[in-house]
Each structure stands twice: as C-alpha cells, then as structure tokens.
Amino acid sequence: MRIRGMRTRGLRVRGRPVRAVRGWRATVGVLLTGALLTGLTGCGPDVKAVTDLGAVGGQRVDGGTATMALPPAAAPNWIFPIAPAGYGATYNSSIQDLLYPRLVTPEPGKNGELTMDSPRNLAGKIRYGDGNRSVTVTLKRGYRWSDGKPVTARDVAFWFELVRANKKEWGSYTAKLMPDNIKRFQVLDSRRFRLRLDRAYNPVWFTSNQLNFMKPLPRHAWNPEDEGPKKAFARLSQHAKQLSKFDSDPLWKTVAGPWRVEKWSPSGRVSLVPNKRYGGPDKPHLDRVVFKPFTTAGSEFNVLRAGGVDYGYIPPSVMAQSRHFKKTGYRVDPWESWGITYLVPNLNHPVNGPLFRQRYLRRALQSLIDQKAIAKYVWHGAAKPTLGPVPSALMGRDATPYDPARARRLLASHGWRKDGGTLRCTRPGTGAGRCGKGVRDGQKLHLELLSQSGSTETSNTMQAIKSSFSRAGVALDIRQQPLNTVLGTTVPCKRKEPVCKQWQLGFFGTGGSWIFPADPSGERLFSTGAPSNMGNWSDPRTDELIKRTEYSDDPSALRDYARHLASEVPVLWTPNPAYQVSVIRNDLRGVQQNPTLTFAPQDWYYVKKRGKGGTAGQGGGAK
C-alpha cells in the first residue's frame, strides 16, 4: 500500500512501521471460512454468463456483495481519521474516507489529470480572497451524521482543533504546512467557515494539498463533554487502539460517509454496509462491500483463481496469463498511480558526487535507459515511462529519450575514453569538452546502485539498465537490500557525513518512488534541503519554480517547473509501475481506479447477466 504524498515505504509512514495486526490462525480462519462459504453456496462467478457480458454497458441491478482483496500483508488497523505515524497507509485512510469523507477528494479528469471538483466533495463553494490569504468554504446542504444530526462547520473546526493541538501525533504533519499555515479558523455559520492563511498561496495547490486533509468529525458524539483538544484526542486515540472493538464501540457508529462498519476483524477483514442516512449524491448500490486481507500475493492469487474475490490483483509476471482471467469472466486493468519512479544519484557522494553533478553525464545516463522496452518486456505492460518530475499524464514529451548513440557522443565529447571496457576521464577540468568540475584525471565511470530487493521486476529492470550502461562503457554494480535498509541508507546528507559514503545511486521504487497528493508540486522532493530530496539536488532555478507552484496562481508555474527538471534530470527516470494489476469481475461495474489510490465502492454495482433472469450481484452476494 502506498502512502500519499510520501516516498513510498511499504507499510511505513514517516519512518515507523505500521502495526500489522494479523495472525495466522485468523488468516487461515478467514480463508477457510471464505472457501467453505464459497463451497457451500456453490457461488463464484457464473463463468459463461459473466464472460459474455464484456466490460462495459449492462443493466444495473442494486444489491449484492463485492469482495476486494487488500494488498499482501496489509491489514486495516486504524479507524480514527487523524492517524499517527505508522497508521497512514492508504488502505486505512481509504476505508476511513468511506466513513468520514473529506471536504475535497481528487478524482481523475478526462485527460488523465486530477480535478478537485468531484460531485462527492463535502465542500460546495471554495472561495479565495484577500489576495489568496484567506479561504471561505461552504459545506453542501443535506449531509447528516448517521444519528440524524447535521454535518456543520463546527465539525470541521473540531478536526482542526484536534490536529492543531496534537500536530506532533498526526502522521501527515509537515512543519510550516497544515496546520501551521492557518493563522485563524473562523466558523461563520452552520455551513460556512473561513481560514486565515499565513501568506498568499496558489489556490489550486492549497485546495489540492492542504484542504484535502480536512474533514468534519462528529463533535457532538466524540466530544459531548466539550473537553480540551488534547484530552479529547488522547481519549479518541485510546479507543482507536482497540482494534477488536471497531465494529462494536458506539464511538465509531456515528459516520457521515456512504458506508458504516458492519464487521472489522483483528485479522483485517473489514465489512461495510450502506449508511442509510448518507446525504451525498453517491449512495451505495451494493448491500455490502468486504475488504479481504492476504498474507502473501500467492495466497491472493490462488483465491482469485478460485473465484473467491471479485476485485483482486495479479503480479505483473502473470500478465501473460490475463487471457485466462478474461476467459473466466474477469477484466484485467492495471491501476496506475499518480506517481513517478526514479534512480536517485547522490550528488554529495565524496567520489562519484562530482560525476553526478555534471548535467551532460546525467543526461547521457538517462539516454541509456530504455524505459519503453523495460515497461513492455520487464513489467509486461504494467508500467509507464516516467518523463519528468510530475506524473507522465501531465508531461508532453520525453526530454531525454532512449538514445545510446547520443549518450556515447555526449560522453566522448566531454573527454571520456574506454579503457578495458570502462570509460575513464581523459580531459579533466571545467570548460567545453572537459569532464567537469571535481572529476579527476583517469577517474573511472564506475557506479554502484543500492536497490531494493524482493521484486523480480525491479531486479530485472536494474539488470537491463546495468547491461545498457555496460555496453556504453559505464560500469554499474548492483547491491540489493531490503526496502527498509535502502530507505535508511538513501537519506539526504552532507559530503563529509559517513552516511554519504554509503550510497551512490539508490532505488526504492518497486511500487513507485513517489506518490503525489493531487497537486504534483515538488516542494518536498526537489527543493533545496527538502526532507525527501534524497539526492541533495540544489538548484536556485528549481527552488524559484517550486515556490511559484506553491504561492502563485499562474497556471504555467507547474508546466515550467516540470519542463525545467525534465531537462535537468536531477534523478534518472525509470518506468513507473502500476500500483497493482487489477482483476475485476466483468459484471462488477462502476469501478474507477483513482490514481491517488483511494477507492469508492459506493459507485460499484452489478449488472444483469445475459440470457439469465438472475444477476451476477446475487451470485456475489452469497460470498
């Protein structure tokens, strides 16, 4: 599972592991129960009728149960929407959003871009004033809590008070951003509130990357005694640690979203049923949605093949077998993420840092990475080339396409000559035709890559890159380590620090190196001294362009930033893998795979099978 807006860390947020709540007995129990029920009811897709359906169209039939497979070893374990570090994985936040919806939700637009004006937004009008120093939000009419009380601006203020008083406990907290950048929260009336900001911000950026955190919480149910925010937060957090009571604790019964919790087992199986008092336009069509945990991808795959889940996934290596699933009534659809993937060069490495600081050399190395072929043959189509510092849907063209001849020319024209199969600098110094500042006479173009282990596709990608580098005379040693080791080593550093000697190139992008929030600005990635600027990139022009994306409402700001960094190549772009290769029952429709990795089962519905009176949904409902 990815963490939005963060360097992906598997089940980690801000450096702490998610508390995995699972036990083999429970998991086996879940699987056996599922298998037994499947066997008893004789369900599983009616293959012929479902296969005949195709992937679109069909007559909607309300009702039924849809079962979605959770990622391997992912067990939802946090229900309180203000999650501490380590509990912010997307499977937690996505389920929380179904119970406690956000003010604004990013949705994919027609051209692959993300929009923030989804009909399911709780916020109606969002008006910026005072030179973009204040923002007034009006909540939509008709939203009620499940106990009948209306959703009000005071409920949003309750979220803000809790976050402001406990920001260090909030996993999504970044200094100087939310809630630090809000000077005052004014409740204007029951549906309107105003935020006074600490300076002028780009409204698009602020709505996408700051306002999207906000959500109303039921003040009347969660803080009836009107305790102080610190005390209230401590009490709510205490309740949130009692995983076995998520489905029975009265606290979590008051929801505003389209779903409410029916069952939440400590092993991670979560079953939601519709909230009958939900006031939004996207009311659920299904009777129930079940999120099913799996300890490994292999076990999920076996259950999927047996028809035990309606919405699962397959490893990219099995893409060649997608025909099998299509024949048995499923569609295969890679779930692309709103992210980018790259190899990070350590610009402060004492030996090879001076090499990486040469723009021509970074461009030459980039020209040796055949992203299209790697995406096609290594990822079996479940990845797309990364073209720059923003998702490729927003990039027009590849500024540094695969061109080994150009790479060789670039290197040769700067004084690199082959010696024993590896290039050596023969013209040190600065100026035209020279190796560049800091590169020693006779220095070998011999690099070391620290890459995450555990993925065949990643290992093969690195081998393909090594091979391509080797043909051009660039030696590359690959050292594979578990993800946490790579993340712990590839940190921003200064040249004389011991950790800076430990890595030259780093890769931690098996699931994408970086997943953006809605607005793909680079303040946390490429600005000087940014917390996730692992390669120590520092460029005044980049900083200036990033500030523009953050503060200015000029729509060209993001484009200029993207173009500049695409040509500067601060990191080596590599194919961005799909979040997962989804396999979805043909008669389950309305599934939109949001690139920010949230899901909206309220949009899902079954369609009538062809040539039969029944519906696929009825079959699914028996599971």
- Interface contacts to another protein, rule CB under 8 A: 301, 315, 317-318, 320-321, 370, 373-374, 377-378, 453-454, 456, 459-460, 463-464, 466-467, 470-471, 477-482
Contacts of 606 (CB under 8 A, 6+ apart): 60, 61, 63, 64, 66, 285, 286, 587, 588, 589, 615, 616, 617, 618, 620
User: What is the distance between the alpha carbons of residues 478 and 490, in angstroms, rounded to a whole number?
Assistant: 14
Q: What is the three-class DSSP state of 131?
A: coil
Q: For helices 229-240 and 153-165, what crossing angle results, to 10°?
A: 90
Indicate left, alpha or beta for 226 from its phi (over 0: left) and psi (-120 to 50: alpha). Answer: left
DSSP string, 87-99: ---HHHHHHHHHH
Instruction: Choose between 239 and 466: whose C-beta lies nearer to another protein.
Output: 466
DSSP states along 61-82: E---EEEEEEEET------SSS
485 or 538, CB closer to another protein?
485
Q: Which is nearer to another protein, 321 or 592 (CB)?
A: 321
Q: How far is C-alpha 502 from the geometric centre of its chain's CA atoms?
A: 28
Q: Closest approach of Cβ 442 to another protein, in Å?
A: 24
Q: How far is the CB of 298 from another protein (least distance, A)?
A: 9
Report helix, strand or coil for 270. strand
Burial 541-555 (b: 16+ CB within 10 A, else e): ebbebbbbbbbeeee
Nearest-approach distance from CB 71 to another protein, in angstroms: 18
Considering the complex, state which of residue 73 and residue 187 has its C-beta at the smaller distance from another protein: 73
* Contact call for residues 574 and 461 (beta carbons, < 8 A): yes
Which is closer to another protein, CB of 254 or CB of 458? 458
In the complex, the smallest distance separating the C-beta of residue 218 from another protein, rounded to whole angstroms, is 47
CB 454, min distance to another protein, A? 7
Task: CB nearer to another protein: give 196 or 471.
Answer: 471
Closer to another protein by Cβ: residue 62 or 477: 477
Least Å distance, CB 333 to another protein, is: 18
Least distance in angstroms from the C-beta of 485 to another protein: 9
| Listed residue (101, 357, 80) closest to 235, CA to CA | 80
In this complex, which beta carbon is closest to another protein, that of residue 248 or of residue 456? 456
In the bound complex, what is the minimum distance in angstroms from residue 455's beta carbon to another protein? 10
Pairing of strands 107-108, 65-72: unpaired
Nearer to another protein, 290 or 375 (CB): 375
Cβ count within 10 A of residue 613 = 7
Rounded CA separation 581/585 (Å): 13
Query: Cβ distance 98 to 272 under 8 Å?
Result: yes
User: Which among 287, 321, 289, 288 has a CA at the least distance from the CA of 304?
Assistant: 321
Q: Which is nearer to another protein, 161 or 370 (CB)?
A: 370
The DSSP annotation for 499-536 comes to HHHS-SEEE--TT-SEE--SS---TTTTSTT-TT-TT-
Cα–Cα separations (whole angstroms), residue 160 to 110, 210, 364, 394: 33, 12, 48, 32
Pick between residue 448 and residue 539 the one whose CB is nearest to another protein: 448
For the CB of residue 492, give the shortest distance to another protein in the complex, in Å: 24
Q: How far apart are CA 503 and CA 518, in angstroms?
A: 31
C-beta closer to another protein: residue 80 or 301: 301
Give the nearest distance from C-beta 238 to another protein in angstroms.
38
| Alpha-carbon gap, residue 121 to 98, rounded angstroms | 12
CB of 186 to another protein, least distance (A): 55
Q: How far is the CB of 404 from another protein (least distance, A)?
A: 12
Least Cβ distance, residue 463 to another protein (angstroms) = 5
DSSP annotation of 440: P
Kindly tell me which of 268 and 315 has the beta carbon lying closer to another protein: 315
CA distances, 518 to each of 114, 213, 337, 338 (Å): 6, 11, 11, 8
Contact present, 6 and 487 (Cβ < 8 Å):
no
Pairing of β 65-72 and β 288-294? parallel
Residue 430 vs 467, nearer CB to another protein:
467
CB atoms within 10 A of CB 174: 16
Give me the least distance between CB of 619 and another protein, in Å please.
Answer: 25
Angle at which helix 556-568 crosses helix 540-551, to 10 degrees, equals 160
What is the DSSP code (8-state) at residue 384? E
**Which lies closer to another protein via its Cβ, residue 115 or residue 460?**
460
Min separation Cβ 468 and another protein, Å: 8
